[in-house]
Amino acid sequence: MTLSHLEGPEVIYLSCRNSSAPLGITFRIGMRVPAVFTATGKAMLAAMSPRELTQHLPSEWPGPVTPTSVSSLAALEKEMGEAVIKGYSLDNGQLREGMFCIGAAICDRPFHPVAGIALSMTAAEARPDIIEAMGKRVRALADNVAERMGWAAA
């Protein structure tokens, strides 16, 4: 599980609970990565107003981290549209090959995400039924955090 925040076009990890099972990446507090490649980044970008979104998109598209890293704004917009419909976003090996992440935005008011949470697993574990069930749980957790903070759920 990770908790992250957006700063410009990057996600900064604020809290991490790494699994004992190897994912090929160790999340660390303070670690920065391009938001467009992460489940939390995509969730937060998808939850923003169009005006705020432009402030968090990279001025130059970042080089891919893996062969499946989202390669264009058009592809990102498609993924963000799916995240809006489902309530959670997906990273299928875009940050690390073989890793699958499900993320949701935590909003303090409509169209204003303040953080994102994500659950990571191996791609082999990410069956469609697991993705849907965990996606709903991650979305519910994000809403619960917002409510406990006195904010409106997304």
Please state, in angstroms and rounded to a whole number, the distance separating the CA atoms of residues 116 and 101: 12
Please state, in angstroms and rounded to a whole number, the distance separating the CA atoms of residues 111 and 47: 5
Name the residue ranges covered by the structural domains of the chain.
2-125+137-148
DSSP sequence for 24-66? S----TT-EEEGGGSHHHHHHHHHS-HHHHHHHS-SSPPPPSS
Residue 114 CB burial class (10 angstroms; 0-12, 13-18, ≥19): middle
Please state, in angstroms and rounded to a whole number, the distance separating the CA atoms of residues 24 and 45: 25
Condensed to tens digits (0 to 9), the pLDDT of residues 102-143 reads 999 999 999 999 999 999 998 889 999 999 999 999 999 999
Overall pTM > 0.75: yes
Of the candidates 118, 38, 107, 126, the one whose C-alpha atom is nearest the C-alpha of residue 76 is 38
CATH superfamily name and code, 2-125+137-148:
GAF domain (3.30.450.40)
CB 151 within 8 A of CB 107: yes
Condensed to tens digits (0 to 9), the pLDDT of residues 29-70 reads 999 999 999 999 999 999 999 999 999 999 999 999 999 999
